[in-house]
């Protein structure tokens, strides 16, 4: 089985001709629809790469089964040449993307600007070196625009064999950040360890209230006739920065947790069971009467977490599956559970009792 991981690198805007990249994307898009258009002013080599290698790309992940979220437009697929530390090479010698591990640079030839021999050099990201150490190979790259900024996407590929399961099961329950992401390690019908993970809520609360305060202040100033002035703009900027910081905190936590949980699964050779109950959690937060913008922040980056968890599981060969494990139905007798204070769930029929976030673990047991 082949696994893939992608890294996005922002390209220096002053060294890239955004209009030229947009033209290449348009050509790629028509190539994707089966048209071959030869533009006289675009280097032949670049167009050869587009049409010559196009058939190879048709079945590949570039135009493949799972379009990445940033592929609202067609990105330009590029071949890569890999030059390793011992001088050995892999790939096409005339490839527009050169990964040079001797000098630790990435060279982009003739794709950032329509000038003969125009080359942009980037430092080699640590990410690439790590993937190579894990027997990965960066065979593909793509260039394109995201929010009108030029980016390079590097796609690492690796041949994986999923491991033999040891009997351990790692259940991951995706809630909102308010109650956190719950996980439990189960063996032979016993819950061995479990935890709920979430970012520090104190900092998030503080930042949120600071943001709301500043938004109110800006509104007040606007109503007093100061709209559009430097003061109002500064206050609004401060509010935006605080909301952005909350978003970054949940994003970092999402990436950190995905990596931690996949390493845990690897260590125990466990089956990874992912219960994505974020929709149910959203409803729970709505029922609690939280404002919509708070709910949005408490749910931010959860989809990214699930996506990263799945990507890492595939990359490291961790067998996984998605399963809906209801937290409002009794895992013993399938009766409806009632919620007691403190988010404890209780069954009126058989007497089962557990914290709400633990109920899914009992379903697995």
Q: Which residues bind Zn ion (CB under 5 A)?
A: 330, 332-333, 335, 347, 349-350, 352
**Toward Zn ion, which CB reaches closer, 302 or 347?**
347
Distances (CA, A) of 162 to 6, 62, 176, 188, 271: 20, 24, 30, 21, 10
Quote the tokens at residue 189. 């019908």
**Toward Zn ion, which CB reaches closer, 56 or 338?**
338
Across the beta sheet with 337-340, what order do the strands follow? 337-340, 344-347, 353-355
- How far out from the chain centre does Cα 180 lie? 18
**Toward Zn ion, which CB reaches closer, 52 or 348?**
348
**Toward Zn ion, which CB reaches closer, 155 or 359?**
359
Q: How far is the CB of 363 from Zn ion (least distance, A)?
A: 12
Q: Collapsing DSSP states into helix, strand and coil, what is residue 60?
A: coil
Q: How far is the CB of 356 from Zn ion (least distance, A)?
A: 15
In whole angstroms, give the CA distance from residue 51 to residue 57. Answer: 10
- Give the burial string for 225-258 (b: 16+ CB within 10 Å, else e): eeeeeeebeebbebbeebbeebeebbbebbeebb
| CA end-to-end span of the chain | 30
CB 306 within 8 A of CB 274: yes
Q: How far is the CB of 328 from Zn ion (least distance, A)?
A: 12
In whole angstroms, give the CA distance from residue 47 to residue 36. Answer: 9
Task: Work out the number of other CB atoms within 10 angstroms of the CB of residue 336.
Answer: 11
Q: How far is the CB of 252 from Zn ion (least distance, A)?
A: 39
Q: How far is the CB of 256 from Zn ion (least distance, A)?
A: 36
**Toward Zn ion, which CB reaches closer, 172 or 347?**
347
Q: How far is the CB of 361 from Zn ion (least distance, A)?
A: 15
Q: How far is the CB of 334 from Zn ion (least distance, A)?
A: 7
**Toward Zn ion, which CB reaches closer, 8 or 350?**
350
**Toward Zn ion, which CB reaches closer, 43 or 331?**
331
CB 246 within 8 A of CB 204: yes
């Amino acid at each position: 089985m082949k696994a893939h991981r992608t890294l996005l690198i922002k390209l220096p805007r002053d060294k890239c001709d955004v209009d030229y990249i947009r033209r290449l994307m348009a050509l790629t898009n028509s190539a994707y629809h089966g048209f071959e258009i030869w533009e006289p002013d675009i280097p032949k080599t670049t167009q050869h790469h587009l049409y010559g290698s196009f058939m190879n790309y048709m079945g590949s992940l570039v135009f493949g089964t799972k379009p990445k979220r940033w592929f609202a437009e067609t990105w330009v697929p590029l071949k890569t040449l890999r030059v390793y530390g011992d001088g050995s090479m892999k790939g096409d010698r005339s490839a527009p993307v050169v990964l040079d591990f001797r000098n630790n640079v990435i060279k982009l030839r003739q794709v950032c600007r329509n000038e003969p021999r125009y080359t942009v050099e980037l430092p080699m990201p640590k990410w690439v070196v790590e993937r190579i150490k894990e027997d990965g190979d960066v065979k593909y790259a793509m260039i394109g625009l995201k929010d009108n900024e030029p980016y390079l996407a590097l796609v690492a590929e690796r041949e994986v064999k999923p491991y033999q399961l040891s009997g351990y099961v790692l259940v991951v329950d995706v809630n909102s950040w308010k109650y956190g992401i719950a996980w439990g390690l189960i063996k032979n019908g016993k819950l061995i360890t479990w935890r709920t993970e979430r970012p520090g809520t104190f900092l998030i609360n503080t930042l949120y209230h600071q943001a709301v305060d500043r938004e109110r202040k800006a509104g007040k100033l606007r109503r007093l006739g100061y709209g559009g002035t430097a003061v109002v703009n500064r206050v609004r900027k401060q509010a935006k920065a605080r909301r952005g910081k909350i978003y970054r905190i949940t994003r970092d936590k999402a990436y950190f947790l995905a990596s931690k949980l996949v390493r845990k699964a690897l260590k125990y050779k466990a089956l990874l069971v992912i219960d994505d109950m974020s929709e149910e959690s959203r409803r729970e937060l709505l029922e609690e009467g939280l404002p919509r913008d708070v709910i949005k922040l408490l749910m931010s980056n959860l989809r990214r977490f699930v996506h990263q968890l799945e990507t890492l599981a595939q990359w490291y060969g961790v067998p996984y599956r998605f399963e809906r494990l209801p937290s409002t139905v009794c895992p013993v007798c399938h009766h409806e559970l009632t919620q007691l204070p403190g988010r404890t769930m209780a069954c009126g029929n058989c007497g089962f009792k557990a914290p709400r976030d633990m109920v899914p673990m009992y379903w697995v047991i």
